[in-house]
């Protein structure tokens, strides 16, 4: 993640899977959170109804 909201939105609009994890188990949301890309978090947040 480079913090590029336009690319993130394009990928998500075209069906990118937000749940894919890197080898270390981190999702794009986890990385955005760690790096302080707060403007991307609402796009990457999983809609989970518990």
pLDDT, tens digit (0-9, with 9 covering 90-100), for 1-50: 555 788 888 998 999 998 899 999 999 999 989 999 888 888 888 754 44
Place of tokens 């707060």: 38
Alpha helical stretches, state H, the chain: 5-13, 28-35, 38-44
* Residue-level pLDDT at 47: 57
For position 50, what pLDDT does the model report?
40
Two tokens, residue 11: 């990928």
- What's the confidence (pLDDT) of residue 45? 86
C-alpha 38/C-alpha 42 separation (Å) is: 8
How far, in Å, CA of 34 to CA of 42, rounded? 14
For residue 14, the model assigns a pLDDT of 93
């Amino acid at each position: 993640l480079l913090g590029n909201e336009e690319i993130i939105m394009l990928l998500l609009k075209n069906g990118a899977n937000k749940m894919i994890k890197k080898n270390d188990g981190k999702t794009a949301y986890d990385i955005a959170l760690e790096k302080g890309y707060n403007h991307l978090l609402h796009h990457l947040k999983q809609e989970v109804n518990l």
